[in-house]
Amino acid sequence: MDKEEIRKKALKDTREELEEIDKIKLLMKAVKTLDQLQNNQYKEMESFRDWYNVHFPELEQEIEDDSHLLKILSDTIEKDNLDAFSELAESSTGMHLEKEDKQILEQFATSLNSKQEFITDLEDYVEKIAKQEMQNLSILLGPVLAARITHLAGGLENLAKKPASTIQMLGAEKALFRFLREGGNPPKHGVLFKHEYVSPLHPDKRGKMARFLANKAAIAARLDQYGDKNKGEDLREECREKYEEVEQE
């Protein structure tokens, strides 16, 4: 291989490396936006439910899933026009809506529906990029949680360099500082609480499982950053076995 070929190969490798880094940056921005939008959507949905409860409290209380409620109300919000819930509407204690009341509530519901559609699209995007760029971590934690913990660490390379004890606490920084300042009980986990092998456990057991999961997440991050081996399924299986063990203790 002559000098020119070596130079071209070096440039090609550098471009590929920069493209991968840029993808991680895009992923971190996307998951940050996703978290912000989901938090805002939750607050706005609470406001909508509180408002709609005045008109049709029986339906608002019966349909707990926000997406389902918005789907039901996608054509009309007036209880008398919701044929599937006619019996519920007949005995409703809710207020009648004037034209302007109906219009503004419909606009609110339409806005929430539109935002939910974008959140779903953004979540799909995050999942796709995470699976491409962090295969092991995505299998172990799920792609969205993998992206979230990478964002909290400041990037995949930073995450790969962190000890498991630090990874366990990512997302719990405020609680940790409060503990150091005021005392009390220290936090046992950060964002890893959202993992399906941590959140269902009794609070006294979550710390142990989060510690084990953080250890495996550290390995997965290093594999994704420095290695080319796909061990995500093995790591996840180890966590599943540990979860069952901790659950039975």
Q: What is the mean pLDDT of the chain?
A: 89
Residue 177 or 89, more confident: 89
The reported pLDDT for the residue numbered 83 is: 92
pLDDT above 90 covers what percent of the chain?
78
The reported pLDDT for the residue numbered 10 is: 55
Q: What CATH code would you report for 134-249?
A: 1.10.246.90
Nearest to 94 by CA among 57, 69, 48, 47: 57
Q: Taking the alpha carbons of 105, 106, 110, 116 in that order, is the dihedral positive or negative?
A: positive
The reported pLDDT for the residue numbered 216 is: 97
Alpha-carbon distances, residue 183 vs 166, 174, 175, 180 (angstroms): 19, 13, 10, 6
The reported pLDDT for the residue numbered 17 is: 58
| Ranges 105-109, 110-114, 175-179, 244-248: which has the least confidence | 175-179
Q: Which CATH class is domain 1-133?
A: mainly alpha
Q: What is the pLDDT of residues 98-113, one digit of tens each?
A: 999 999 999 999 999 9
Q: Would you place residue 38 in the very low, low, confident or very high pLDDT band (cuts 50, 70, 90)?
A: very high
Mean pLDDT of all residues in 22-27: 88
pTM: 0.81
In SS3 terms, 163-209 reads as CHHHHHHCCCHHHHHHHHHHCCCCCCCCHHHHCCCCCCCCHHHHHHH
Q: What is the pLDDT of residues 118-165, one digit of tens each?
A: 999 999 999 999 999 999 999 999 999 999 999 999 999 999 999 999
Q: Is 176 helix (H, G, I), strand (E, B) or coil?
A: helix
Per domain, the residue ranges of the chain are 1-133, 134-249
